[in-house]
Amino acid sequence: MSEIPLPPPLEPVDESWGRALCVVAHPDDMEFGTAAAVARWTGQGKWVGYTMVTSGEAGIDGMEPDEARRVREAEEVASAAVVGVDVVDFLGQPDGILEYGVALRRVLTAEIRRHRPDVVITGNFRDTFGGRNLNQADHIAVGKATLDAVRDAGNRWVFHEQVEEGLEPWGGVKAVWAAGSPDSTHGVDTTDSFDAGVESLKAHQAYIDGLGWENWDPAEFLEGIGRAVGQRMGVAFAASFEVLPMGWGD
Ligand SMILES: [Zn+2]
């Protein structure tokens, strides 16, 4: 009888920061596991802002993009409010067909220069979520471009037109954290803020209805993920992150 190896333990993330900007492709990306961690941090008095690169307008099969954009932006604003986030920016990039490259880095750099965060949180940008669960193209493009934009933001000669228009360079981001990565190294205990995370996912009712998953229960779904990560930290529920330090030799 062979034993299945347990996933490695996760180290608690460094929470000695004041401002975090979460940069994700779609409304709902934060709510599938990370929002409970956000609720914990806003509860500690930290500032957390959300940047939605698209408005998820191509995400509901039975709804035209113009209508879906309006519905999904409203759901995301409500969802963010549940976990103490009152700044949600929508960058209006095209849902489903984002391209990694200079154009995407430019808009993300402006966001980072505008909000001047200590930590930037993005979604998993590896090829899979583990096993054969394939990742999605927009997530990969956004994660990679975010990592680059954090560096671009500190260099006044990259996207210099933004500096000329009054956005100061910002090189203060200590690390980028990719949520839910199969290469996660760290975790956050979300036991006390778990319920807020569930409520924030439930705010995406039109999107959830549009998925057409019968009898799908947001609480049950988040419990499954949260417990599996929690086991790696010795707590009931947790959220996982791949921590990418932005210094050299950290
Ligand atoms: Zn997504």
Output the CA angle 196-136-158, nearest 5 degrees.
90
From the CA of 69, how far away is ligand 1's center (Å)? 14
Cα distance between residue 200 and residue 219, in whole Å: 11
From the CA of 127, how far away is ligand 1's center (Å)? 14
Cα distance between residue 104 and residue 98, in whole Å: 8
> In this structure, what token pair is assigned to residue 195?
């319920």
The pLDDT of residue 1 = 55
The pLDDT of residue 230 = 98
From the CA of 29, how far away is ligand 1's center (Å)? 5
From the CA of 4, how far away is ligand 1's center (Å)? 30
pTM (two decimals): 0.96
Strand positions, DSSP E, 35-87: 47-52
Per-residue pLDDT of the chain (250 residues; tens, 9 = 90+): 567 677 899 999 999 999 999 999 999 999 999 999 999 999 999 999 999 999 999 999 999 999 999 999 999 999 999 999 999 999 999 999 999 999 999 999 999 999 999 999 999 999 999 989 999 999 999 999 999 999 999 999 999 999 999 999 999 999 999 999 999 999 999 999 999 999 999 999 999 999 888 889 999 999 999 999 999 999 999 999 999 999 877 5
The pLDDT of residue 28 = 95
From the CA of 32, how far away is ligand 1's center (Å)? 9
Do 95 and 56 meet the contact criterion of CB atoms below 8 Å apart? yes
From the CA of 25, how far away is ligand 1's center (Å)? 6
From the CA of 54, how far away is ligand 1's center (Å)? 9
> In this structure, what token pair is assigned to residue 203?
């705010």
